[in-house]
Amino acid sequence: MNYQLDGKRVWVAGHRGMVGGATARRLASEGCEVITAGRDVVDLTRQSEVEAFLKDARLDAIVMAAAKVGGILANDTKPAEFLYENLMIEANIVAAAHENDVDRFLFLGSSCIYPKFAPQPIPEDALLTGPLEATNEWYAIAKIAGIKLAQAYRKQYGRDYISAMPTNLYGPGDNFDLQSSHVMPAIIRKAHQAKLNGDKTITVWGTGTPRREFLHAEDCADALVFLLKSYSGYEHVNVGSGEDVTILELTQLVCEVVGFEGEIVHDLSKPDGTPRKLMSADRLRGMGWAPRIGLREGIAQTYDWFLANQERWQ
Ligand code: GFB
């Protein structure tokens, strides 16, 4: 597969999000015309608005980075929003892409699609082999439906629609709201605040023992462009760093980078979530792609971005 992006019209759905933003920036060096549209232009949960937008947009390809996303607590407490909004967004876009003859569609899922107790590192074919993790089953079901939509349009209509499954992502443009964020921005913000306050402790949710794999959003964007150009197939592809750490190890590393030297304490009223979700990186590595940004370097860069943008969360 060698899909030429040069001269193509490529819509990044969700360009205001962390991954969508990084993907739009990464695509800018590919010679294609990057199309973006905010919620004021098209509400992706509204079928008629999506249909009208795609009818006029004359697209060649779509990167589907638009989604209702959040960390463990948001997923656990807003199941209806996570299931409904994600189902609507992806169904509206896939159907309208087919209707308007869009050649390429890249769907973004999540590593939480895999069973709670999947073998580690998790191979792509572990999908639908066991029960999901309860804190995020709603989001996971919506993302599994998205993979199946891409496969169904390939099977029934011969559409070249593909799916990528990114691991836990972080980087500039992340959400640092402590109630709805993922762990990385939460810990960066908490460590920074504790340092400023001169606090003796920082509180992390759960036991600190769950293991998570982290990938910088810019590495993810690079992998997505790589797949858009070079992958065509029915099966989804994992996008990860191939390495994981415990939440405690992550917290220690963030504290080092931020310069907070106090003690780490645990809020055991908060959930741990799945014990481990390290994805197998073999398929993507086998195609010739590898990440470039190490965890410490990525955290430092993200902390710098937070320092420059922190008024957004005050
Ligand atoms: O990143 P996170 O919210 O999501 O949490 P998941 C990862 C781990 O970090 C959990 C712990 O064990 C949390 O309990 N943690 C510790 C914290 N302190 C904090 C904190 O201050 N904030 C947060 N948020 N976590 C999400 C899914 O799961 O991952 C989504 O819910 C999606 O559906 C996403 O798949 C990538 O990795 O547990």
264 beta partners: 202
CA distances for 67 relative to 122, 242, 268, angstroms = 23, 24, 29
> What distance in angstroms lies between residue 232's CA and the mean position of ligand 1's atoms?
31
Tell me if residue 3 is catalytic: no
**How many Cβ atoms from other residues are within 10 Å of residue 173's Cβ?**
18
pLDDT at 114: 98
> What distance in angstroms lies between residue 64's CA and the mean position of ligand 1's atoms?
22
Q: What is the mean pLDDT of residues 30-58?
A: 97
Each residue's pLDDT tens digit, 192-229: 999 999 999 999 999 999 999 999 999 999 999 999 99
Query: pTM for the full model?
Result: 0.98
Distance (Å, rounded) from C-alpha 120 to C-alpha 66? Answer: 28
Distance (Å, rounded) from C-alpha 314 to C-alpha 195? Answer: 17
> What distance in angstroms lies between residue 183's CA and the mean position of ligand 1's atoms?
5
Q: Are 159 and 98 contacting, i.e. CB atoms less than 8 angstroms apart?
A: yes
Each residue's pLDDT tens digit, 229-260: 999 999 999 999 999 999 999 999 999 999 99
Under the banding of pLDDT at 50, 70 and 90, the label for residue 73 is: very high
pLDDT at 63: 98
**φ, ψ for residue 113, nearest 5 deg:** -70, -20
pLDDT above 90: residue 1: no
Q: For residue 59, which amino acid is it?
A: L
pLDDT at 314: 85
Query: What is the torsional sign of CA 194, 195, 196, 197?
Result: positive
Measured from the CA of 169, which atom of ligand 1 is nearest?
36
* Ligand 1 pocket, residue 114 CB under 6 Å: no
Helix (H, G, I), strand (E, B) or coil at 271: coil
* Ligand 1 pocket, residue 270 CB under 6 Å: yes
pLDDT above 90: residue 173: yes
pLDDT above 90: residue 125: yes
* Ligand 1 pocket, residue 206 CB under 6 Å: yes
Catalytic residue among 114, 139, 161, 231: 139
Each residue's pLDDT tens digit, 15-41: 999 999 999 999 999 999 999 999 999
Alpha-helix residue ranges (DSSP H) falling in 100-136: none
Which strand ranges, in their side-by-side order, compose the sheet holding 160-166?
A: 33-35, 9-13, 61-64, 104-108, 160-166, 237-239
pLDDT at 101: 98
Q: Helices (H) and strands (E) in the chain — how many of each?
A: 10, 12
Distance (Å, rounded) from C-alpha 236 to C-alpha 167? Answer: 13
Q: What is the mean pLDDT of residues 47-74?
A: 98
Under the banding of pLDDT at 50, 70 and 90, the label for residue 282 is: very high
| Average pLDDT in the chain | 97
* Ligand 1 pocket, residue 112 CB under 6 Å: yes
Q: To test ligand 1's pocket by mutation, which of 174, 205, 274, 313 has the most ligand atoms within 8 angstroms of CB?
A: 205
